Structure 1
Amino acid sequence: MTGAEGPTYTVDDALVALGFGNFQILVLAYAGVGWVSEAMEMMLLSFVGPAVQTAWNLSAHEESLITSVVFAGMLIGAYSWGIVSDKHGRRKGFLITATVTALAGFLSAFAPNYIFLIVLRSLVGIGLGGGPVLSSWFLEFVPAPNRGTWMVVFSAFWTLGTIFEASLAWIVMPKLGWRWLLALSSLPTSFLLLFYKVTPESPRYLCLKGRTADAINVLEKIARVNGRELPSGILVSEHEIELHKIDNPTEDARLLSPRTNEDEHPKGIVSNLGAISSLLVLLSPKLARSTLLLWAVFFGNAFSYYGLVLLTTELNGHSKCMSDKLQTEKSQDVRYKSVFIASFAELPGLLLSAAAVDKLGRKLSMSIMFFMCCIFLLPLLFYLPEGLTTSFLFLARICITATFTIVYIYAPEMYPTSVRTTGVGIASSVGRIGGMICPLVAVGLVHGCHQTAAVLLFEIVSLVSGICVMFFPIETMGQELRNNVQV
């Protein structure tokens, strides 16, 4: 493959040649710690709210607000940090988010009153909104042929975080209380700050910005650590492809020779767009269908996932519409144990994802799992013994974990590099709306002795989400990542 000035290669060519080696393992470990910390901060919401309500004599509305402000913060953060990382780099994006999350999370443990706690937890939510930045950063180092499998492995860190947090709560809460749980749960994010200086910038992002020399430095470092060699020739960036008006960059990039002025950025390049214009790109004719369907699926996924987490305790604690006193006692008995057990449902969910994502494809895998979730929820339309209720919720959570895992693989693959973290960030924000609404609906209906209505709602949401997946316009399995959108 030669151009006018000799052989050339793209970032995709380089990553395939270098393979998935020790360098990517280190990147996976770093990004994985961030995913663990986000999972822990989300899981602790199941424990902190009731504990604070008891300690400070809060109303039910005030208790629910402790959870809602975190989702509201994530709604803002996911959108904001996506734009920051698309414009200023992935590293700067997750540096800011890790700093905000770690500091606000630790200070939450010392909140003197309810107002301070609400403010600090909302800041934690804003920081947690940067989760998609880490997943997109890791994705951009993974060769296309085994991208799905390794993104499932990356998702396993979320499961580790949920299990670890449930274990930590079970140990810490009865003896030390909620403040210690908040403080200890903020520690994993601090590790991101400790090792930040050694993290590399995404070579795909660097090429998009025309910083080909910097991208080559990163690729050479990958080659050294992995014990491989870069392809012969000159790296061709999407910067040159934009200048040459090429419609199919992944195939035609090899025919181009690099230009000498790497600092000149093409006018109108998507990566330099601001917040409003980035949103317009996501809703442009070529991306609008994918974007709107993805928003619906993220909403359904978050609504169903957090709903099943809450129902694990709510249905077992209120299945016979007991008096408030008995409900409270019962839910306290099952809270730690049931959440801990249900967390393990995510392990088979991950295995299902790994088995299906690179064999059946992203779309078929997600739609099957959504429909299976509907089937497992059907028996819960009726009152069942605690053991059966837990079993069906366990199976449903396996399925919804699989869909959540796969959609976080599909979303960054679907969007081009120029708006990747913005696109995934906004989709994640829409999911947070589902997370905000879910506690009010799920808990409210069950507390009001409307279990059938609550479960039926989750049935409808899962069914609609599965149908939306079927209408996604593209399948990304085995495809190279796109870098730009022609608009």
Structure 2
Amino acid sequence: TGSHALNQFKTPKFIVAEAMEIMLIAVVSPVIRCEWQLNDWQVALVTTMVFFGYMVFSILLGLLADRYGRWKILLLSFLWGAYFSLLTSFAPSYIWFVFLRAMVGCGVSGHAQGLIIKTEFLPTKYRGYMLPLSQVFWLAGSLLIIGLASVVIPTIGWRWLIRIASIPGIILILAFKFIPESARYNVSTGNNKAAIATLQRIAKMNRSVMPEGILVEPVNERRGRFRDLLDPKYLRTTLQIWIIWLGISFAYYGVILASAELLERDLVCSLQTAAMKELGDDSEENHSPCHCRLFAPSDYRIMIISTIGEIALNPLNILGINFLGRRLSLSITMGCTALFFLLLNICTTSTGLIGFLFMLRALVAANFNTIYIYTAEVYPTTMRALGMGTSGSLCRIGAMVAPFIAQVLMSASFLGALCLFSAVCVVCAASAFTLPIETKGRALQVCNLSVVLPCPH
């Protein structure tokens, strides 16, 4: 009955809002560097503190979501994130900016519950197709913030960019009345009445009929327990998933921040960007008193092109996930990511640089698609949100380290930074290949919303 249920959900729009909040730092960093005359480590600290907030709250909100429901935590996270995002635009100093963005990170950490709700409504055969398509909406959010930045920052400033970027999150709060709680979660807590009401609503929307019978599922009071993740049945899987999440996040945000750094500093073979050729090296428009260069229109165009790469491999990613399986598909894309990080060291034209960045964004996005699906599928309903939350928390450790590699170490040793990114990807590829459980074609565990038909006699 639930194969088309997600037509009513607003989770894609949630992804747009989250992408805008995360990508915001990449486009604002050059401006705040100049305004507050920041050093490399201070610029990197902004991103790190965003993900520190994400890391701390990801576990907490995952635990609460398993105990009290996905819907409540998702709403709380959006209220929190929208409030502090808006406050950021009024930050009077660098310290206040860092603190408020960390608070935004705390709120964004709960957005993963939207994916949990989505996963728990999708039938097994559709999950490998529908979940990767969510990447399109992440792309939309990323492109929207880059496009807005190219217009808003040069005219009315970065503070107005943040205010405008906060609008989607505020509007989406109104959409929560259309989002039901996960039926699987309701059944796992013994609230069958609410689960049936949700399924009946879906059946009506799909012009279908609920099958006869009753929902049967044992009520499990042991929900959201951290030690269940380390139970012998899941211990090896959990540890390897944590390694993969950490590495994928490290690579993903490394690519995003390195892209900005390459454009800002012209690190590759001392190439001049198109804008520098047009305006000249000593143009006051591109240089600030603190010796940093603001993004020119051509830089925004390059960021847009490389960002579009995030869906370039989506068709192949979907085929790999559904035919090769989650493990093999992830190990292949992680291995290719390691290779392309090393290729960035090749002296090339600006077109070649764009091509490498395009492929890297495509590969790191494919990695995220696959690990999101695998993590949501491998854990049972009673610990799914906590499993995703702890993975997201480890993921943010990688994101916290990435700025210091992409924005600090890269300035000192370009090849050293690329080799480090590549080595981490190789470790993740090996970990993915050796995961003990393959979830391709596997039903979600524990709460299957099984239907018991009345006895014919």
2:347 aligned with 1:398: no
Q: Corresponding residue for 1:296?
A: 243
Instruction: Tell me how far 1:338 sits from its aligned partner.
Output: 2.2
Distance 2:126 2:353 in 1: 37
Q: Corresponding residue for 1:93?
A: 73
Q: Check conservation: 2:40, 2:407, Cα contact below 8 A.
A: no
2:399 aligned with 1:435: yes
Instruction: Tell me how far 1:337 sits from its aligned partner.
Output: 2.5
Q: Corresponding residue for 1:409?
A: 373
2:188 aligned with 1:208: yes
2:3 aligned with 1:24: no
Instruction: Tell me how far 1:377 sits from its aligned partner.
Output: 2.8
Distance 1:352 1:238 in 2: 39
Instruction: Tell me how far 1:345 sits from its aligned partner.
Output: 0.3
Paired letter, 1:466: A
Q: Corresponding residue for 1:287?
A: 234
2:49 aligned with 1:66: no
Q: Corresponding residue for 2:256?
A: 309
Corresponding residue SS for 1:344: helix
Distance 1:429 1:91 in 2: 20
Q: Check conservation: 2:243, 2:431, Cα contact below 8 A.
A: yes
Distance 1:440 1:332 in 2: 24
2:320 aligned with 1:368: no
Task: Kindly report the root-mean-square deviation, in angstroms, between the aligned alpha carbons of the 2 structures.
Answer: 2.1
* Greater Cα offset, 330-339 or 145-154: 330-339
Distance 1:60 1:315 in 2: 14
Q: Check conservation: 2:81, 2:104, Cα contact below 8 A.
A: yes
Corresponding residue SS for 1:129: helix
Distance 1:144 1:191 in 2: 32
2:101 aligned with 1:121: yes
Distance 2:174 2:404 in 1: 38
2:411 aligned with 1:459: no
Paired letter, 1:270: R
Paired letter, 2:71: R
Corresponding residue SS for 2:437: coil
Q: Corresponding residue for 1:483?
A: 446
Name the TM-score, length of structure 2 as normaliser: 0.89
Instruction: Tell me how far 1:332 sits from its aligned partner.
Output: 5.2
Paired letter, 1:203: A
Q: Check conservation: 2:203, 2:209, Cα contact below 8 A.
A: yes
Q: Corresponding residue for 2:222?
A: 270
Q: Corresponding residue for 1:354?
A: 318
Q: Which runs of 5+ in 1 are unaligned?
A: 1-17, 240-265
Name the TM-score, length of structure 1 as normaliser: 0.84
Q: Check conservation: 1:321, 1:447, Cα contact below 8 A.
A: no
Alpha-carbon deviations, 1:259-295, whole Å to 9, x = none? xxxxxxx5xx321x5xxxx221111111111111011
Alpha-carbon deviations, 1:139-192, whole Å to 9, x = none? 111111111111112232112111111111112111121101111111111133
Q: Check conservation: 2:30, 2:294, Cα contact below 8 A.
A: no
- Counterpart of 2:114 (choices 134, 143, 157) is 134
Q: Corresponding residue for 1:148?
A: 128
Distance 2:144 2:410 in 1: 28
CA spacing shift, 1:196–1:379, aligned 2, 3 Å: closer
Distance 1:57 1:313 in 2: 18
Instruction: Tell me how far 1:222 sits from its aligned partner.
Output: 0.9
Distance 1:373 1:117 in 2: 33
Distance 1:332 1:92 in 2: 42
Distance 2:356 2:32 in 1: 30
Distance 1:179 1:46 in 2: 14
CA spacing shift, 1:338–1:455, aligned 2, 3 Å: same
Distance 1:395 1:59 in 2: 30
Q: Check conservation: 2:59, 2:389, Cα contact below 8 A.
A: yes
Distance 2:421 2:295 in 1: 21
Q: Check conservation: 1:212, 1:237, Cα contact below 8 A.
A: no
Q: Corresponding residue for 1:319?
A: 268
Instruction: Tell me how far 1:322 sits from its aligned partner.
Output: 9.1
Corresponding residue SS for 1:180: helix
Paired letter, 1:464: V
Alpha-carbon deviations, 1:300-332, whole Å to 9, x = none? 111111111122232352224699988844865
Q: Corresponding residue for 2:156?
A: 176
Instruction: Tell me how far 1:19 sits from its aligned partner.
Output: 4.5
Corresponding residue SS for 1:400: helix
CA spacing shift, 1:162–1:349, aligned 2, 3 Å: farther
Distance 2:293 2:77 in 1: 38
CA spacing shift, 1:321–1:331, aligned 2, 3 Å: farther
Q: Check conservation: 2:2, 2:203, Cα contact below 8 A.
A: no
Instruction: Tell me how far 1:214 sits from its aligned partner.
Output: 1.4
CA spacing shift, 1:114–1:380, aligned 2, 3 Å: closer
Distance 2:295 2:194 in 1: 55
CA spacing shift, 1:157–1:456, aligned 2, 3 Å: same
Distance 2:255 2:372 in 1: 19
Distance 1:413 1:91 in 2: 19
Corresponding residue SS for 1:270: coil
Relative contact order (C-alpha < 8 Å, sep 6+): which is higher?
2
Q: Which runs of 5+ in 2 are unaligned?
A: 273-280, 448-457
Distance 1:473 1:227 in 2: 40
* Greater Cα offset, 376-385 or 218-227: 376-385
Q: Check conservation: 1:314, 1:331, Cα contact below 8 A.
A: no
* Greater Cα offset, 335-344 or 102-111: 335-344
Report the count of equivalent residues: 430
Distance 1:121 1:296 in 2: 26
Paired letter, 1:473: P
Corresponding residue SS for 2:92: coil
Distance 1:455 1:60 in 2: 18
